[in-house]
Amino acid sequence: MKKFAALLLSLLLVATFAVPSLAACRERTFGGYQHVIIVGVDGAGTYFEKDYMTNFHRIFADGAVRYGVRTETKTDSGPNWASILSGVSYFKTGAENGVVGGEEDRKFPWFPSIFSDVRKAMPDATLASFCNWSAINIGVVEDGIGVNKQNIPNDDRLTEAVTDYLDAGNRPTLFFIHLGEVDDVGHAYGSSSDEYAAAMQRTDVRIGKIYDALERAGMLEDGLFLVTADHGHKATGGHGRFSKIESLSTIAVKGKTVKKGGTLDCDTKLRDVAAISLYALGVLCKPVHFSAKVPANCFNDVLGQVRPVHRDIIDLLCGAFMWIYTNLGAPLDKYFP
Ligand SMILES: [Zn+2]
């Protein structure tokens, strides 16, 4: 029995520490893209799934999608946008809303954003971050690395700024676009409301406009287009806890080497957006910083990477708790309102 336990422990250790990435960095996808465009829809959770999201479904009909991607353990905006753009867990960044949106500059400089990573690898790259929620440009995207940051607290004007920027001939290597109306409406009316559905539909139109502008700009041939959200919203509005509706989100990817009709693997987390982006641009192969990975079923030629969970045990334990919680569902809701 002792021998068996020892064997099991050894196997576990090997699995955790020594399993090499299944992605060998020699694939067409690694460095195969000139542009990565990330559209982040605040508070949209898994609502991209709805039939009324016609532009979303038009774009990602031949892309790879997962509805049900894990957020960070705290389902607020700051923690999740910070992890999406840096590839590490909330336990590493400590990026509470107040931290991200605080007066001072970036508070977690030891975990660079993917903008920093791209800048280091490509000194001449054009980088842009247009945000409805200015906190992302204040607290997550570093100053002084030449990112064209625009803070526009209105999604229609922001979408227009994006399309104008592209139509004017700008061709960013990394472009992050944050849309905020859905979250505002979610807080005011809840995700079961007609108002929320209407905000999602207006957002769908904006996603379509951005995508079409990228097409006009000729950026889609060598571009990876990705749509995601930081968290969902309770039926009655609000987020921050562990219920399914708050803690499950979406990643949708489209590009020349993306698996058509693929479903990203069930261990996909929001922070994997960082790994996917840096892999596609050929900046970092594996693993991105601490605990992000390129999911399986994302690219045709990448089997998927192993998440280096041993580097973030607290995240691993809390992630396990969240998994149990969201799968047990309702019985626990009264304890975590
Ligand atoms: Zn949010």
Summarize pLDDT for 304-333 with one digit per residue, the tens: 999 988 878 888 888 787 777 766 665 555
CA dist., res. 6 & res. 298, Å (int): 36
What tokens were used for 276? 């996917």
Query: For residue 86, how far is its CA from the centre of ligand 1 (angstroms)?
Result: 16
| Sheet with strand 174-179: strands edge to edge | 64-70, 248-254, 223-228, 35-41, 174-179, 127-131, 147-151
Q: How far is the CA of 124 from the centre of ligand 1 (A)?
A: 32
Ligand 1 centroid–CA 21 distance in Å is: 32
Q: What percent of the chain has pLDDT over 90?
A: 71
Q: Per the structure, how many domains does the chain have?
A: 1
What is the CA(42)–ligand 1 centre distance, in A? 5
For residue 145, give the CATH number of its domain. Answer: 3.40.720.10
Is residue 16 domain-resident?
no
Q: SS3 for 46?
A: coil
39 CA to centre of ligand 1 in angstroms = 13
13 within some domain: no
Confidence (pTM): 0.90
Half-sphere exposure of residue 1: CA atoms within 13 angstroms, side-chain side = 0
Q: How far apart are CA 66 and CA 296, in angstroms?
A: 11
Tell me, in angstroms, the distance from the centre of ligand 1 to residue 187's CA.
10
pLDDT band at 241 (very low <50, low <70, confident <90, very high): confident
Does 4 map to a domain?
no
Do residues 249 and 233 lie in contact, with contact meaning Cβ atoms separated by under 8 Å?
no
DSSP assignment letter at 192: T
Give the distance (Å) from ligand 1 centre to CA of residue 246.
10
Whether 7 is covered by a domain: the verdict is no
- The answer to whether position 11 is within a domain reads no
Range of the domain at 59: 25-333
Residue 229 Cα to ligand 1 middle (Å): 8
> Is residue 15 in a domain?
no
20 confidence band (pLDDT: 50, 70, 90): very low
Cα dihedral across residues 82, 88, 268, 120: positive or negative: positive
255 in a structural domain: yes
Query: What is the DSSP pairing of strand 174-179 with strand 35-41?
Result: parallel
> In what helix (H) or strand (E) does residue 40 lie, and over which residues does it extend?
strand 35-41
Tokens of 86: 């840096």
Taking only the tens place, the pLDDT of each residue in 2-15 is: 666 666 666 555 44
Q: How far is the CA of 192 from the centre of ligand 1 (A)?
A: 17
Strand 248-254 and strand 223-228: pairing? antiparallel
